[in-house]
Amino acid sequence: MGRNWSDREVENLLRQAVGRSVPDVYQQVSRVTVDPLLNLDHIVPPPRPPRRRWKRPLLILGALLLVALCVWLFFRYRTAAILSVGDGPDVELSVNRFGQVLEASGRSDAGEVLLTGLSLEGEDLDDAVERLGWSMANAGYLSNGDVPLAVDGGDWQYNREVLEDARDSLEDVLENWGGGGHVVTAPVTSPAPDGSLPTQTPAGTVTSTPAAQSTVPAAQPSTAVPAVQPTTPSSGTQSSLLSEEAAKSAALSHAGLNGANVTFNKVKLDQDDGRTFYELEFLCGGARYDYEVDAYTGAIWKSERVGSPNLQTITAAQAESIALQHAGLSAGQVVERKSELDDDDGVLHYQVEFKRNGVEYEYEIDAVSGAILKAERD
């Protein structure tokens, strides 16, 4: 009778038999170097390195920065407008889109002499025109004469902006210089509605365009100023430019003044929206008058009065003397001295400014009493 083997006993017998028949070669095999599989036909693809996903955004960003740099360099060194200043001497300033001077050249021998010692390249347009204006003033070109300004370029809107900035800077020099000259600008017109280009006007000339008849009410007058009644403009034909004296006479006649005890602070030929006119500012008693007179017809385009002509006011020289005395300085010790009559809610006062050793002084002097309303030093 055979023996009955349990399952556990059978398992032990089998384990012993396998252990004797199959050797344990793990330690031996684990120490053997195995050559890599040959892949001569590239059937098995080689492993790929992980993709760098940050590379494409960096390339795009670099391309955008390069495009932006190219655009900036293009507008930085490309001439957008050419400003012509003066007529014997004639100086041309090449200006980029950022309002910086790229090149300054004299179109005549006098212009070349005027630029001697001036380095205007890279400066802002207003600073360059101001320096050029003072050079012209010191050379005697701003004394009782017209200073023509003209702009040529591709963009008429930018041309107008350049012309206005240059005109303002040059007029500031003329006001401080006091030589009696004034700026004459060649008009910059927009293209016609059909897209055709406007007729170019030679530099230094002024054209006349009829303006609409309009009135501007007087600002807080104590006595009513006569109503504005402009004369009929000329019918599209070129007429002669009125003199400054004729413009003064038209303004005084409209204000009902005979010229006695009248002090003119400003007489300036100006242009706006195709209109050419004289801008006048004068004093009589305690009143300040602001006028715009058509430069060809003598029509009154604007009249404004602040204060009363019955009040007695101090002069600009007296206001400067009060400010200098308060600062403990004399006229010979300061530079860039200027004064301007202004009003605040109908109260006339002088704004006086001057500099001493880099320190800027600003004063407000009551035009009637001479009292110091404000005194600042920076």
Return the CATH number at 285.
Answer: 3.10.450.40
Query: Domain range spanning residue 287?
Result: 244-308
d(CA 308, CA 288): 8
- Could you give the residue ranges of the DSSP H alpha helices within the chain? 7-21, 26-30, 55-77, 109-114, 125-138, 156-177, 244-255, 316-327
Q: Contact at 8 Å (CB) between 206 and 241? A: yes
As averages over each run of 10 residues, the pLDDT of the chain (378 residues) reads: 79 82 74 69 69 79 89 82 77 86 83 80 86 80 72 78 85 74 66 46 37 35 41 46 91 86 86 85 82 90 79 83 92 88 75 92 88 90
Q: What is the pTM of this model?
A: 0.40
Does some domain include residue 106?
yes
Same domain as 320, residue 304: no
The pLDDT score that the predictor gives to residue 154 is 66
Boundary residue ending a domain (283, 308, 333): 308
The pLDDT score that the predictor gives to residue 222 is 39
Alpha carbon separation from 15 to 3, 25, 178, 293, 322 (Å, rounded): 20, 17, 123, 125, 123
Same domain as 343, residue 277: no
The pLDDT score that the predictor gives to residue 155 is 74
The pLDDT score that the predictor gives to residue 355 is 93
- Count of domains forming the chain: 3
Q: Contact at 8 Å (CB) between 281 and 255? A: no
